[in-house]
């Protein structure tokens, strides 16, 4: 794993082909003929800080990561919080389903990183969006079917222009779209045919695809319909990044945004 001490060195050693910064990120992200590859931090910078935490998002901003991915659930009292798993056991010193607890109960739990309990608290979506506003776009992975509080938090913070909603549930995204046609959508596709259906159903800004059907035909299909391509650099690709090897499967591809556990490694190329 790339240590923090090496991160500034990588950024100074050669100009990054991603991390374009500011309004240019949104422009590149929403322009189908863009050839910029954007680096995305999965659950924020969670290999050194608690995942889905305020410090992890702040570190993504400091490092110049292009987009931060976070996961949202809703507490029993209707407050959107950041949490990936169905239970808080793996990532905090607490136990149980976060959606059956009220916020006050969850605030007493402390995030854990590398087996060490931290002094941080589980953040609310509103807190994270206020931190991200003006600094970094947000890939919001919907881990809940209670969407109204999530949409309300985005509206309250005035972050509709930097948040895009990701889900593989094709019943959830129409609800988001109906709430405001300005919402940015990213449906998950598991095949070329499904990508075609997603475009027809949602007219989305982005379509999430897999390497299994990452072909020029599918990419052209998506781009001709006015959408961008998203593909994850997780798993084997991430291991290549860890070893600081060029990830040949996506490097140089047209308009693809990889999401990585180690997005800052992308800047070393």
Would you kindly state where each structural domain of the chain is located, as residue ranges? Answer: 17-85+123-268
4, 256 Cβ separation under 8 angstroms: no
Q: How far, CA to CA in Å, does 247 sit from each of 64, 218, 254? A: 20, 20, 14
Report CA dihedral (165, 167, 179, 147) to the nearest 10 degrees: -100
How far, in Å, CA of 22 to CA of 199, rounded?
Answer: 27
Q: Parallel, antiparallel, or unpaired: how do β-strands 40-42 and 67-74 relate?
A: parallel
Return the pLDDT at 27: 73
Return the pLDDT at 129: 98
Number of CB atoms found within 10 A of residue 56's CB: 26
Q: Where are the alpha helices (DSSP H) in the chain?
A: 7-13, 22-30, 54-63, 103-107, 125-132, 148-157, 172-179, 192-202, 216-224, 236-242
90, 52 Cβ separation under 8 angstroms: no
Percent share of the chain, pLDDT over 90: 67
How far, in Å, CA of 11 to CA of 239, rounded?
Answer: 20
How far, in Å, CA of 205 to CA of 188, rounded?
Answer: 12
Q: What is the DSSP letter of 114?
A: T
Which CATH class name applies to 17-85+123-268? alpha beta
Return the pLDDT at 30: 77
Tokens of 49: 């800080």
Burial of 222 (0-12, 13-18, 19+ CB in 10 A): buried
pTM for the structure as a whole: 0.83
Return the pLDDT at 232: 83
Q: Parallel, antiparallel, or unpaired: how do β-strands 206-209 and 184-187 relate?
A: unpaired
49, 113 Cβ separation under 8 angstroms: yes
How far, in Å, CA of 217 to CA of 223, rounded?
Answer: 10
Strand boundaries in the chain, DSSP class E: 40-42, 67-74, 80-82, 112-113, 116-117, 138-142, 163-167, 184-187, 206-209, 228-232, 256-260
Number of CB atoms found within 10 A of residue 9's CB: 10
How far, in Å, CA of 25 to CA of 110, rounded?
Answer: 33
How far, in Å, CA of 50 to CA of 71, rounded?
Answer: 13
Nearest to 161 by CA among 187, 180, 146, 188: 180
The tens-digit pLDDT sequence of the chain (269 residues) is 222 222 222 233 233 334 445 566 777 777 777 777 788 899 999 888 999 999 999 999 999 999 999 999 999 999 999 999 999 999 999 999 999 999 999 999 999 998 999 999 999 999 999 999 999 999 999 999 999 999 999 999 999 999 999 999 999 999 999 999 999 999 999 999 999 999 999 999 999 999 899 999 999 999 999 999 998 877 666 666 666 655 554 443 444 445 544 444 443 33
């Amino acid at each position: 794993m790339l240590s923090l001490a090496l991160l500034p060195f990588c950024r100074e050693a050669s100009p990054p082909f991603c991390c374009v910064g500011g309004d240019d990120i949104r422009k590149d992200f929403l322009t189908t003929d863009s050839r910029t590859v954007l680096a995305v931090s999965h659950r924020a910078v969670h290999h050194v800080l608690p995942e889905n935490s305020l410090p992890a998002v702040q570190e993504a901003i400091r490092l110049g990561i292009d987009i931060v991915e976070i996961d949202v659930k809703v507490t029993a009292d209707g407050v959107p919080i950041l949490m990936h798993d169905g239970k808080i056991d793996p990532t905090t010193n607490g136990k149980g389903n976060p959606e059956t607890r009220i916020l006050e109960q969850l605030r007493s739990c402390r995030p854990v990183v590398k087996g060490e309990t931290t002094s941080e608290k589980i953040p609310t979506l509103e807190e994270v969006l206020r931190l991200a506003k003006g600094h970094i776009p947000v890939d919001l992975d919907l881990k809940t079917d209670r969407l109204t509080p999530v949409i309300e938090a985005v509206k309250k913070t005035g972050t509709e222009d930097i948040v895009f909603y990701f889900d593989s549930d094709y019943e959830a995204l129409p609800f988001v779209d109906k709430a405001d046609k300005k919402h940015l959508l990213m449906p998950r596709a598991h095949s070329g045919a499904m990508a075609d259906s997603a475009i027809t159903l949602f007219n989305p800004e982005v379509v999430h695809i897999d390497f299994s059907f990452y072909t020029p035909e599918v990419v052209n299909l998506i781009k001709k319909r006015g959408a961008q391509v998203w593909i994850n650099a997780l798993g084997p690709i991430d291991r290549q990044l860890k070893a600081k090897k060029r990830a040949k499967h996506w490097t140089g591809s047209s308009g693809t945004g990889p999401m990585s556990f180690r997005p800052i490694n992308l800047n070393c190329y």
